[in-house]
Structure 1
């Protein structure tokens, strides 16, 4: 079913059944449909039409979910923006997406590149905006993902992508009207939107949108709302297993937890299941394939150390340097094909051509398939850093650091971290005679980058190592143990 039609269908079928809740309110199906209609009317009165883009800058709340469906009711797309981004980063995304309006909960005086609608006024529409005829090819989401060229790029997903992805997840996760998702991942990520919200709603179930995650209070929320599943990154699961031994929550409602966005150790998966009594199903995907490509079955053979087989309708292959499909057990480039693969990057034809080849998505990850089709990842895109589930590309940080005139060379690599899995560390070489300390570099970076992208360590060297062709030698830097930091 097209998601523009889903709220009305749910309201007609079971008006008093629960739909979406957050920290402040609970909406049954009838109320959910009603507030979506009101929000769509408001957006229409502001000029939102089919084909337009609505930006949304909100924390995890029901208002964000309502805005998604309200825009889709009008045939518009949504680009969700990470609330912790700087003004410069927010403005870039809003303008790159050609957003006609930005929905937020905070009155701001800075220029965000488009007109602003406060959530306090989101439901003020009065005339009633008729829903447009839904089209599968209508754009649904523009999810921005960091790119190796420095600036994030918009992943174009249409409603056919969303429907195919969610139907596959309903199938592989066994979702029904009895399922209840506890959403703790951010709603500016595809995972939070697709796996945590849209899929259970499509199955007839419900979603509770939690606010900011806190390990100490997480299981209080579990015992309060009784979810059947939730999705999280390895960092969150590590925080949960690190809770004091006297924390013994009632987790009997949880059928499974989903683990993704970054590699999880076999030990971590076992610790969660042994301590809390529910299994973790590890999966793999990226925004460019809407959300998920593979997942270990919750009710079948789960192979620890793998990210499972391809979900229904999706094909995962491993290619050699010549583009030929490799046999089981041989590592190569992981490519994905299926109806969940994106339509391309917004306004980036060269990037699109490089990433989508013969209808297949080149993930940039290295892995191998076993005889049963289970995928094991052995490496990932060369420079990608995954900090607590957040993707960070070094080039974006390096571009900011190079704005400092004292910097001659800059390189960012990932370093293992016990809490976040990996953190960015920066190496710089200064121009002759220049003086630049760590605090000055961090102050400059903090004005341009979100906090999670800031380097955890900064090391100044006389010059940075190079390889045989003169390029910065990042493998050497990854092994470097800095004796001092600037």
Structure 2
């Protein structure tokens, strides 16, 4: 998160004000500074420079994790989080590929056997939220007079920012950037939306994901308090929004859907003024319901791990063009390509490509999947869609690589509009020269599944020569970052 010198700058005027609220426990800026200083001293006295080469963490959001991230930022140690919901076997594969020197992990989330499995070769592991915190505090306090010397004596490694794709359809890809774009993006958003330290930020998305870490860091740099919420705890979500001065947050569409349902049964007073939504398809039905309940406070973004945030839809545009994910904003260019990677005219559909100052440099295997158009590097997105005459982007599906021209999101909207439907996801694959489209849905109450399947097929109608299947599931599976877990969907259908 933010380095020690920035924490101290904020604390000069606001040291005794709340910096983090985590499970009803508040930490002032001075509290956080003390915890960060203790951990810096502990690390620098307990581990050599080789052991402080890089860090991975596996943990839900906690105040303790945020303090550790400030430690790593202060010392210039590269750090990235892993999706704690992934299978242990997948986490082990990622750890071997990233090869960190330290693994920071929440022991409460795993069994002893799983912890041993995650202890890969040449890795130093220690726990978040464990009795070892007393040792850290003791060493940190005893050697506190060495803090400045230890910070100055630590040499940071050359900058290499590591992030991971969501891994909902395959093992996550490792993304490298050799220069940070944060300052430029932060300044644009701060200036456009007039953010200040009074804009308390609710952190509900995981810190391992850019949508959690990046935005939380921006508001923390402003001196705004962070309100940590477990996205599985709906009562905590309601309480935080209604009882605290939360004015900003970043949500995924599935969390917005849950919030809409909660709000329909509870009168919610809130102070929200800026809610950024993205990461997956944001249903038109959900947009309209959310706006009617909470007001014109929603902003939608479009982008991915490799490209950053590239398009925005603001409230007025969202009301007028709810099917669009917005327009490219300053520093971004979005074009549509045909199957020969040539640009097409506005209104014609094709694969979406993005050029941006936020683009990654390469994947960890050295591949750089860019195409050059008019002297610019464009990243090929997974999505298929089109631009209207005013440059608004409309998505059709996430099968850009197979040039699937069917509007799968229209199918989803038709199914979602049925009164008995709780949630729905439409996924597609390409086999033996044909598109296989699968629709999975869950219901609000017990219904005759066979009747519903027939009704959905009638509502959707014919989809060209595609093979269309409809299946009922108990719940549509999502990752903590809001992505539909496609692999989990296919496994559920295979087991049915």
Aligned counterpart, 1:372: 390
- Secondary structure of the residue aligned to 1:353 is coil
Which moves more between the two structures, 109-118 or 325-334?
325-334
Aligned counterpart, 1:407: none
Q: Does 1:88 align with 2:94?
A: no
Q: Report the Cα offset of residue 191 of structure 1.
A: 0.6
| Equivalent residue pairs, number | 411
- Secondary structure of the residue aligned to 1:285 is strand
Structural RMSD (CA): 3.9
Aligned counterpart, 2:73: 72
488, 492, 496: which one aligns with 1:454? 488
Mapped partners of 1:133, 1:316: distance in 2: 42
Mapped partners of 1:389, 1:95: distance in 2: 36
Aligned counterpart, 2:254: 235
Q: Structure 2-normalised TM-score?
A: 0.71
207, 231, 235: which one aligns with 2:226? 207
289, 307, 313: which one aligns with 1:271? 289
Mapped partners of 1:154, 1:8: distance in 2: 33
Q: Deviations over 1:400-445 (max 9, x none)?
A: xxxxxxxxxxx9975343589xxxxxxxxxxxxxxxxxxxxxxxxx
Distance 1:91 1:246, change over 3 A: closer
Q: Does 1:111 align with 2:117?
A: yes
Mapped partners of 1:68, 1:369: distance in 2: 39
The question of whether the paired residues in 2 share the 8 Å contact of 1:180 and 1:208 is answered with yes
130, 145, 151: which one aligns with 1:130? 151
- Secondary structure of the residue aligned to 1:111 is helix
Which moves more between the two structures, 41-50 or 174-183?
41-50
- Equivalence map 1:153-172=2 (5 Å): 153-158=173-178, 160-172=180-192
- Equivalence map 1:165-204=2 (5 Å): 165-195=185-215, 197-204=216-223
The question of whether the paired residues in 2 share the 8 Å contact of 1:355 and 1:363 is answered with no
Aligned counterpart, 2:441: 417
- Secondary structure of the residue aligned to 1:454 is helix
- Equivalence map 1:424-439=2 (5 Å): none
Q: Structure 1-normalised TM-score?
A: 0.73
- Secondary structure of the residue aligned to 1:79 is strand
Distance 1:419 1:131, change over 3 A: farther
Distance 1:459 1:374, change over 3 A: closer
Mapped partners of 1:323, 1:456: distance in 2: 30
- Secondary structure of the residue aligned to 2:227 is strand
**Unaligned segments of structure 1, at least 5 residues:** 396-410, 421-450, 461-484
Q: Report the Cα offset of residue 249 of structure 1.
A: 1.0
Q: Does 1:334 align with 2:355?
A: no
Distance 1:77 1:380, change over 3 A: same
Q: Report the Cα offset of residue 135 of structure 1.
A: 8.6
Mapped partners of 1:363, 1:205: distance in 2: 34
160, 164, 179: which one aligns with 1:139? 160
Q: Deviations over 1:440-459 (max 9, x none)?
A: xxxxxxxxxxx965346656
Distance 1:217 1:63, change over 3 A: closer
Q: Report the Cα offset of residue 24 of structure 1.
A: 4.8
Q: Deviations over 1:196-254 (max 9, x none)?
A: x1121233322211124333542222122220022222212222222374411112x11
Distance 1:459 1:18, change over 3 A: closer
Q: Report the Cα offset of residue 321 of structure 1.
A: 3.6
Aligned counterpart, 1:99: 100
Q: Report the Cα offset of residue 94 of structure 1.
A: 1.9
- Equivalence map 1:209-224=2 (5 Å): 209-224=228-243
More helix by share: 2
